[in-house]
Homo-oligomer: A and B are copies of this chain.
């Protein structure tokens, strides 16, 4: 329950921004988004609720820092790839996995330069488009599409996780959605009626990657043909 062992891991009162952010992440992961409160976090850090405000100005800032931390860890796991397209895929998948493990992170990311991992991510995607050879005029849009897609899906996952917290209930929900689509009139809703069959068992991650592939295919069209 409570931490009493002095042990070797520093004295109990080494309060720091990093310790706060890491405590917040653990709380978010174990108790969910509603589980992160200043009171609960203070209790976990063996301090008063107000102490946190010495290091962090806001709950929004705390969430943003936690999300950026998670993003940084995800980026660190990605192996270097020589092929820029493979590198973009690898980054995208790493973020997908990270946001699946920490769904609360999906909504707290922005262009904010304070989020240093975010800056690194944005640069990585952009520099890979340079390597691919996307011409300057097309580059900004291609980058925006990649980044928006990757972060956007993360946000969608977050919204979904918020409404269906448990994994088991997520599958059940998907099945319920499919059932309701099957009940739609095939004349007015031909697509959903048909897609209902594929929805329940489908591989989210593979489908996400297929989206990346479509964008990359579109980007290839903007390349000046080399010959």
Contact = CB atoms under 8 A, between A and B. Distances in A.
A81 interface: no
Contacts of A217: 217-218, 221
Could you tell me the dominant secondary structure of chain A's interface residues? helix
A156 B155 contact: yes
Interface stretch (A13-21, A35-43, A47-55, A105-113): A105-113
A27 interface: no
A145 B112 contact: no
Contacts of A198: 140
Interface in A162-179: 162-163, 173-174, 176-177
Contacts of A109: 159
A106 B152 CA distance: 10
A117 to B, nearest CB: 13
Contacts of A106: 155
A10 B173 CA distance: 39
Interface string A195-227: 100100010000110110111111101000000
B155 A123 contact: no
A80 interface: no
Interface stretch (A68-76, A86-94, A184-192): A184-192
A145 B145 CA distance: 11
Nearest to A197: B140
Given A110-B163, A155-B155, A144 B207 contact: yes
Given A130-B190, A181-B113, A191-B143, A153 B163 contact: no
A56 interface: no
A91 to B, nearest CB: 14
B214 A123 contact: no
Question: Which 9 pairs from chain A and chain B are nearest by CB?
Answer: A152-B152, A126-B191, A214-B218, A145-B211, A155-B155, A217-B218, A113-B180, A141-B210, A218-B218
